Every structure is written in C-alpha cells, then in structure tokens.
C-alpha cells in the first residue's frame, strides 16, 4: 500500500504530499494516472543531514499544481524518467549540482559542469575557495582538474 501523506500547504497555497523513497515510483505512477502529465521541476535541497527531493507536478486538463516531496539519507532516489521524459535533464542537473544518484536513470552524467569536477557546488559544505580549472582534450571534450595546464 502506497502511503501518501498530505502536509499543510506552503506559502504559495499549493498542496504538498510527502512519500517515502521506496514508494516514490508507485506514488508517481498514480499521480500520472490522475492526469498529472507535466513534470515541471525537480529540486534537490541539501538539509545538511539529509537530502530532500521536491517534484512539482502539473496537470493540463485539471489545471492543478501539486508538490510531491521525498527525502533520502544515502543520496539515492529512484529515477522517474520512465514516467516523464522531461525528468532526464532535470535529474542530470540535480546529480551535477547536488550529487543525488537517481537509480535507473539511463545516462547519468554531469550536464552543466565538465567531467572530472570535484565536489557538488550546491551542497552546503562545498568549498568555494578551491579553484578548479577546465581544459579541453583533442576531441573537444572538457575535463576539470586542480592543475591549470597550458593556456591558463
């Protein structure tokens, strides 16, 4: 049985539902069947001791907007790419920025930052004082390192 708990609405008066990480896929499928065909946004929030993942869903027919929340302690969340295709790049971005591993994602790579970047910038414990440099290899792919290399 999927447990979906409704929480008090936020300051924007949208309904908030909280599900457990294990129930995420069945819960999302049931929302999709209810007509929420547009996954608007995936947000990861670093709460220091845990990671909260927030999904904003929208239904074109009902013209309703709801928020679904889940949380994880070990940085892994099941991927919803099988339900909405727009989850693909959103999950890649959240992996890039917060290091959340979405299990079952077909192609989980960094999207905005180059390969080899160390650390996840939107984590609260990210050290901004460490400078990293990006260089380009012969195929035109970028890689990051702490070494300036030529050209810098």
Partner 1 sequence: METTKPVNKYVELNMGPQHPSTHGVLRLKLLLDGETVKRVEPVIGYLHRNAEKICELDYYCDSLLYFDRMDYVNSLSMEAGFLEAAEKLLGIEPPERAKWIRTIMAELSRIASHLVWAGAYGLDLGMLTPFFYVFDLREQLLNIFTEASGSRLLTNYMSIGGVYQDFNDKIIYMIKDFINSFPKKLEEVFNLFVKNDIFISRTKGIGILEKDVAISYGVTGPMLRGSGVDYDVRKAEPYLMYDKVNFDIPVSYAKDCLGRFLVRYEEMRQSVKIVKQAINKIPDGPYFNPKAKKSLMIRLRGEGEAYGRTESSKGEFGVYLVGDGTVKPYRVRVRSPTFKNLSVLRELGKDVMIADLVAISGSIDLVFGEVDR
Partner 2 sequence: MKTGDTGILTTTMEKAMEWGRSNSIWPLTFGLACCAIEMMAVQASKADVSRFGSEVFRNSPRQSDLMIVSGTVTKKMAPRVRRLYDEMPYPKYVIAMGVCVIQGGPYNQGYSVVLGVDRVIPVDVYVPGCPPTPEALINGLITLQKKIRGETDR
Note the residues at the interface with partner 2 (CB under 8 A). Answer: 113-114, 121, 126, 128, 132-136, 142, 144, 151-152
* Residue 122 three-state SS: coil
- 8 Å CB contact between 102 and 120: no
Nearest residue (CB) to partner 1, 1 versus 131 = 131
Residues 25-44 that bind partner 1 (CB under 8 A): 37-41, 43
Q: Pick one of partner 2, partner 1, none as the site partner of residue 89 (Cβ within 5 to 8 A by kind).
A: partner 1
Residues 83-142 that bind partner 1 (CB under 8 A): 84-86, 88-89, 93, 97, 111-114, 121-122, 126, 140
Give residues with Cβ within 8 angstroms of 50, minimum separation 6. Answer: 71, 72, 73
Q: Which of 10, 87, 97, 81 is nearest to 41 (CA)?
A: 87
Q: Which of 53, 129, 66, 57 is nearest to 93 (CA)?
A: 53
CB of 72 to partner 2, least distance (A): 24
Give residues with Cβ within 8 angstroms of 132, minimum separation 6. Answer: 117, 118, 144, 145, 146
CB of 1 to partner 1, least distance (A): 28
- DSSP label at residue 107: T
Beta bridge partners of 76: 101
Nearest residue (CB) to partner 1, 99 versus 121 = 121
- Interacting residues toward partner 1 by CB under 8 A: 10-12, 14, 37-41, 43, 45-46, 54, 56, 60, 63, 65, 67, 84-86, 88-89, 93, 97, 111-114, 121-122, 126, 140
């Amino acid at each position: 049985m999927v447990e979906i708990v409704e929480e008090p609405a936020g300051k924007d008066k949208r309904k908030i539902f909280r599900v457990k990480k294990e129930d995420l896929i069945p819960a999302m499928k049931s929302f999709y069947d209810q007509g929420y065909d547009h996954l608007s946004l995936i947000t990861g929030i670093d709460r220091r001791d845990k990671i909260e993942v927030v999904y904003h869903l929208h239904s074109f027919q009902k013209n309703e907007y709801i928020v679904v929340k889940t949380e994880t302690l070990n940085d892994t969340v099941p991927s919803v790419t099988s339900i909405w295709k727009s989850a693909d790049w959103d999950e890649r971005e959240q992996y890039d920025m917060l290091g959340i591993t979405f299990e079952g994602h077909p192609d989980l790579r960094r999207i905005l930052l180059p390969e080899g970047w160390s650390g996840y910038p939107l984590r609260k414990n990210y050290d901004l004082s460490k400078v990293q440099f990006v260089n380009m290899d012969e195929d035109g792919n970028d890689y990051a390192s702490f070494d300036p290399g030529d050209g810098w």
